[in-house]
Structure 1
């Protein structure tokens, strides 16, 4: 989606025929916004509606570059002050208004545990850097509970504004060159300049889309070429007036079919943007080019239909308003059907039209702002500040605690955590025990941050296939324990570090987000997790070279693909077989193994802290069945695999996390779960004695067996 100016006589690029209104451009905007809002409404028959964003990128590049080209060719210069003043008064008032309303809707409908995250999102949206924040979140395993941000749609606006930092500056340099070398042809030089943006951006887009599609979707370098295509069309405007009418008619309709067909035929399974984005972007460029000479017989005739022009006129406003309303409606009523999503989209038209008429246009066309670039920039800056303040207010509204405060931590200060499960007559860890809970740590709003304090680089992200080796515990210890697996292995970092220091163990860890220790193929982000498979191969080589005294592993994922290329073939049996093969390779090399059985998964009540917040602190509403939680956990594959491989021992501390048939969210004054099925670091610390009692004998026995063999 874009923030392009409405196509008015003042702001539409000319084709050496003077400024003229292009109603077909507004029709293209109508198609683009229609694709986006129907897709966001959840209508399954339009699985590729996301291509509307790409259509807008091309239109934006065309319109804005047309203005700049006309300025360079007529004056020989580019006024950056006038350019940015025009952008500021066009975009920022509506942005500030929408962000204020978005914060209010978030406060009213979204769980308090999300306010801090979303408040920072609002600040990022107001300053047009939210795309980078979303890109970082897309590969952050710990961010998988966050859900859709109410300002997620601002990513495309951020991309566009970042493009319009670079492109005008490049045109300033080109204008300077043309003044120094008057014999050069301006449009040819500008074409070379934009090609210098398009070519490397497209190449990088293809590469990153293949290597890391989640990041590629949001980051600016993978999208610049799409805006560049629109800019290239604007630069070549004098050529398009010579296109024969028949050819223009064919070209325009072909572009229309490419764009609309993409919306119906593409799905989210197609890696995007990459080379696939050429279809809607070139289709849009074709329609723009055709509009110069095709006349009413071409697609321009359809696109100039008055209702389409009207929708195109409010497209920017509608894009700003529709997504926060969808997020708020979903938070309040739950998942919306396609029909109810369309109802919300229809409702969004009302504030879109009102904001255009009452806020955007009055400010945009105010005579005082047209006369003074400084005043226009000041007004825009004030609306940006309003958006920033709104986001900060949402952060400040986050309650310091959502339950009566409990002083101290899990070690000897009144909060016992797992320690409450032993030596007491009360049924600790049961649903009945929840009635006695007066407070707990961490609070639900702090649960996400209650993570193990291991260095960030020790947990490889989902992109890299290269293991990172970290040493901790007693780094001078005589016994080497290798810890391998995903974040479920590292959730025990704090107690393991303390145990290792007590026992004289040197821990060497190699862990990767959402990647277990096996030789199968997992799924991540709906795609085969190839970097996990490559990482596993490298880890096995490292282990054989290191030859640790014992290998400890744990993981969350319990299924793998029977066909490594088909994500529909996942099964627990495939994971058991993959674990069995990998573990056999290691044990036959003389490395004994200890498997820490994964804890039960909360399933429908995950994230547990959000469940508590959404149920007014009702802890009993956030319990879940242990048997089902175990079936959903990594233990469903770990335990049968361990039985199948000689020399593999199991450490089962699940009773310290869920001691009864129903798992509870608070034990001994400590919130048990943080993100998905991970336990809080506070609770993990409280398990130190329990984990040591189970793990130390197994490690000692494993090493004795290895020495005796």
Structure 2
């Protein structure tokens, strides 16, 4: 995470600070460096899955509090010294402190992406880099839809920069609000400090309320409005009355306890942030306040130890470097966490951070580099660096869009990655979505989610051969009998699936009478963790049988342990094949439930694609030079077509 010390070295007593004694303590605080060390260590430990660190992501919340506190101290000190806020000077300091290191890491990541990533991965990296350099990485990852705790996020080399987006937006807004509120208070002959406190209390209350209302949503996690109260808590502390040493002695242990409790108890399944972020936030406020009131206390002295304060000083660089290193290695090795390997990577990131701190950060921060000698040159150099970074990202984007030779493996890869919606369109409209043989003869209805939609091309080919008219009802994430995994009842996605399934059930009788519907094929990506899906599927099967429909249930296509498409392009098809036994073990719980449904209803037929896709006890990634999968468990157009001969006798 970012090293945010930039502590002012002096303070000229004046009206503001006379009413705010805590802000007089403007000397460098080693205990805050130590708190940074705790925060970055927790974040890194969480990212490599070390024991007892599942809640280490709360280190980000600790950094938010520190940012609010230190930035407000800087603003208060400048206002007290000059009676105004020099915005140009403020932003020049932010440029010197943050931008060169950020640009260095982003540029290195883009170069690595050019060397090692596949075209669609390069495009995604370029987009995230551009948004990060525009101070909107958090907005980008919110719109992309990949949650922080989802496995796919571990393969996004710049996702960690969402935190910088939150803080950079805070740096943009808070100095303006500070200066505006102070000017308004003085114009009306009102005290400045109470006006600022009132503004902060209102903002913190509104932001906390929004965080609680939004709950554990992506918007609450990534965006500033629901995170502002954490930064605001640090701002309020910077304007708080002084704390007595006696109170600091018992407040500091409570702060440590709160932070450790969050790290030990929280995990990826904890609904976060919401009100639960209050635990690390309040703990951080307590530690900062106690360290300012009683620097010689046991906890502040522990946090001020050289080794832990040293980690805090390089925390910004360590945060910047560790995630891209982890992401690139996981991409190359097919994802997943390997504690020993990843520990080595984060130690390498620490080494890079130390070098960058001494060779890049400190010389620029101390204005020993000509291009950053004063405010004007700092802002100009920062602008030039941003333009260079944006140009590099744009160049990678253009390179990724270059065409591939027709029929090549890369051309197949591009088609598979970009053609899912085109190749397997969802059909959830009441108007018939038809394929196969012309209407008039017997019809089959395919009902399911994306795992059903991928059978559409195979059914079209098989239906033409078997003289069967194919109707389709598919909706993403809505497997028959189950709501999307992890979606709560009443959630918009749950409601959409419920409405889709209700609509299909309602039209079955009409299709039976007017479209000559004779067969219903259920298919889906069922998950054994979905409670009660098998009971609802059995009920839908029985309802179809009562209408006189023949029922077929399709088992799912192989679910591989990695993204088969990317693995094949990087390592070759032979290296990415998996034993059929491993595929069957992953599907065992779902297959047992399907077996039970079919066993209790002898007229229901089960069909499995495994005999076709997994010959000779192996599940290959490609057959006859054609790629079968477009990710971990969805077929390409060629893969779907390969199933047509196996489906034809089943539907005929």
Is the shorter-chain TM-score for this pair beyond 0.5, marking a shared fold?
Answer: yes
Aligned position for 2:175? 168
Aligned position for 1:60? 67
- Tell me if 1:43 matches 2:50: yes
CA contact (8 A) 1:470 1:508 kept: no
Q: Which moved more, 1:471-480 or 1:295-304?
A: 471-480
Aligned position for 2:514? none
CA–CA separation in structure 2 for the residues paired with 1:50 and 1:145? 17
Aligned position for 1:201? 207
Q: Secondary structure at the match of 2:473?
A: strand
Aligned position for 1:248? 248
- The CA deviation at 1:319 is 1.4
- The CA deviation at 1:266 is 2.5
Cα distance change of structure 1 residues 24 and 390 upon mapping to structure 2, 3 Å threshold: same
Bigger helix share = 2
CA–CA separation in structure 1 for the residues paired with 2:550 and 2:76? 68
Aligned position for 2:232? 228
CA contact (8 A) 2:452 2:523 kept: yes
Cα distance change of structure 1 residues 188 and 279 upon mapping to structure 2, 3 Å threshold: same
- The CA deviation at 1:189 is 1.9
CA–CA separation in structure 2 for the residues paired with 1:45 and 1:69? 39
CA contact (8 A) 2:73 2:238 kept: yes
CA contact (8 A) 2:78 2:84 kept: yes
CA–CA separation in structure 2 for the residues paired with 1:32 and 1:505? 61
CA–CA separation in structure 2 for the residues paired with 1:501 and 1:8? 77
Select the residue among 575, 579, 583 that pairs with 1:629.
Answer: 583
CA–CA separation in structure 2 for the residues paired with 1:320 and 1:147? 14
Aligned position for 1:433? none
Cα distance change of structure 1 residues 497 and 275 upon mapping to structure 2, 3 Å threshold: farther
- The CA deviation at 1:449 is 1.6
CA contact (8 A) 1:369 1:376 kept: yes
Deviation per residue, 1:155-197 (Å, 9 max, x gap): 11111112223323333432342243122x2222222322333
1:432-581 pair list within 5 angstroms: 439=408, 442-453=411-422, 469=429, 471=431, 473=433, 484-492=447-455, 509=473, 511-513=475-477, 515-518=478-481, 523-524=485-486, 537-547=498-508, 548-549=510-511, 552-560=521-529, 564=531, 576-581=534-539
CA contact (8 A) 1:453 1:494 kept: no
- CA RMSD of superposed structures (Å): 4.1
1:21-36 pair list within 5 angstroms: 21-36=28-43
CA–CA separation in structure 1 for the residues paired with 2:291 and 2:49? 32
Q: Secondary structure at the match of 2:475?
A: strand
Select the residue among 544, 560, 564 that pairs with 1:608.
Answer: 564
Deviation per residue, 1:225-257 (Å, 9 max, x gap): 211111121232xx1x2x222112211221122
Aligned position for 1:666? 622
Cα distance change of structure 1 residues 584 and 534 upon mapping to structure 2, 3 Å threshold: farther
CA–CA separation in structure 1 for the residues paired with 2:413 and 2:423? 22
Deviation per residue, 1:233-288 (Å, 9 max, x gap): 1232xx1x2x2221122112211221133223322221221211111111101111
CA–CA separation in structure 2 for the residues paired with 1:42 and 1:131? 23
- The CA deviation at 1:57 is 0.7
How does the TM-score come out when normalised to structure 1?
0.76
Cα distance change of structure 1 residues 678 and 331 upon mapping to structure 2, 3 Å threshold: closer
Q: Secondary structure at the match of 1:453?
A: helix
Cα distance change of structure 1 residues 208 and 695 upon mapping to structure 2, 3 Å threshold: farther
How does the TM-score come out when normalised to structure 2?
0.82
Unaligned runs of 5+ in 1: 407-438, 460-467, 565-573, 698-709
Aligned position for 1:584? 542
- The CA deviation at 1:400 is 5.5
CA–CA separation in structure 2 for the residues paired with 1:234 and 1:149? 36
Q: Which moved more, 1:309-318 or 1:534-543?
A: 534-543
CA–CA separation in structure 2 for the residues paired with 1:692 and 1:341? 45
Aligned position for 1:315? 315
Q: How many residues align?
A: 628
CA contact (8 A) 2:609 2:643 kept: no
CA contact (8 A) 1:444 1:612 kept: no
CA–CA separation in structure 2 for the residues paired with 1:58 and 1:324? 25
Cα distance change of structure 1 residues 454 and 231 upon mapping to structure 2, 3 Å threshold: farther
CA contact (8 A) 2:541 2:551 kept: no
CA contact (8 A) 1:560 1:575 kept: no
Q: Secondary structure at the match of 1:443?
A: helix
1:179-198 pair list within 5 angstroms: 179-183=186-190, 185-198=191-204
CA contact (8 A) 1:483 1:510 kept: yes
